[in-house]
Structure 1
Amino acid sequence: MTDRDSSRTLPHPATEEIRLEGVLHALSDPVRLSIVRDLAASADDLSCSHFDLPVTKSTTTHHFRVLRESGVVRQAYRGTTKLNALREEDLNTLFPGLLASILTSAQAEAARLGAGA
């Protein structure tokens, strides 16, 4: 790892530092929930630019920071691209069934409201 790589390392909470109230807060916002839904549906890590969000770039940055700092996602640079991965294993270890329940409920709500799956 070069000095340049280490300067681009983003802080993440350790698994034991993730708190339920932080996760619930992060997932309570519709934009952040849509990010998590997309990550859960993808087998690959997704770049920030993958997401077509109805907010400004600075607000998008804020949403990703909230998700990262709450322990919902892990972000890492690959070259100049910031990739995002859902911390599904960590969340399932700490809060069994929570993420699956939230994602299932979000999908049902989207279908009910006509927003699709």
Structure 2
Amino acid sequence: MVNEENLSSEDLREIYQEHHFGILDSIFALVKHRAKYPVEGSYTNYMLQKGSDHILKKVGEECTEMIIAFKNNDADVLVYEIADLLYHVTVALAHFDVDLEQIFEELVERRSR
């Protein structure tokens, strides 16, 4: 049972196990699948085929758009831009062979420091 008053690293691991950020896992699985089994006309395949520079440029663009949405205090646009950013970061992670599990574990580990 998670102690809501004082979250420990173990509590965070339990929350992660329970919720597991399902949509991110699904998107990441799809991106990895598309990398292995390309689908003609797929934007994900287009991004992966363009390579590192294109993917990283897109991550930068989405990050800038997110910052502008924050500055404009526009919650609807912010949600949209963060979704774009998360998608493109997921593509970058797959391209560079970094698993989401590694990111989640790093976040849990940082919490315990």
Query: Could you say whether these structures have the same fold, taking a TM-score greater than 0.5 normalized by the shorter chain as the test?
Result: no
Q: TM-score range by the shorter chain?
A: under 0.3
Q: Which structure's relative contact order is higher, taking Cα pairs within 8 Å and 6+ residues apart?
A: 2
- Structure showing the higher helix proportion among its residues: 2
Q: Which has the larger radius of gyration?
A: 2
- Structure showing the higher strand proportion among its residues: 1
User: So what's the TM-score if we normalise by structure 1?
Assistant: 0.25
